[in-house]
Amino acid sequence: MEIERECFSAPWSEHAYLTEINNRSAYYVVAVFECSVVGYAGMWLVMDEAHITTLGVAPSYRRRRIAEQLIINLLEEAKRRGARRATLEVRESNIAAQSLYKKYGFVPIAIRRGYYTDNRENAIVMWIENLDDPRFLAEYNAVKQKLAEELALAATEERTC
C-alpha cells in the first residue's frame, strides 16, 4: 500500500487489493529486492484478453528495469493462459509509462476522456492486438533478450566491483 500511495494520485484502497487477490480472473506479481517488495503489477484475464490493471515501482527503485521485468512477467503469463491480446489504460501525462508500453508492443488506439477520477485526466488506451503475431513476437523477443543481456551484464559488473 505504501508503494501504491507513492505511485498514484488516486490510489486503490487496501480493500480493493484484498478483493483483487481473491478474484479468480486476476493475476498479480511483485518485485522483491533484499527482502522488500519494491514493485508490483496486476492484470485481469478474461476470455482471450489480458487487461493490465496496475503497475507500480517504488520511486527509489525506478530506472532499474523493474517495470520492464514486471511487464514481461504479465505478458508471459497472459500468453501461458491463452490470452491473444492485451490492453491497458495510462494517463495522458505519463509519457515515461507510455514509452515503456510502446517498447513492449502496445499501440495507442483510443482516448478515454476524463477517465481518472482525481483530476479528470484523459486515459490513453493501448493494445497489443495479437500476442501470437510473428512480427510482434520477433520485436518482443528481441527487446526481452536485450533486457536479459543488460541485466546479466549489470549483475556481473556488480560482482566484480
Active site residues: 89, 101
159, containing H or E segment: helix 134-160
Helical packing angle, 95-103 and 66-80, nearest 10°: 50
**DSSP 8-state secondary structure symbol assigned to residue 122:** -
Cell reading at 105 = 508492443
- Nearest CA to 50 out of 144, 130, 139, 107 is that of 130
Q: 104 and 140 in contact (C-beta within 8 Å)?
A: yes
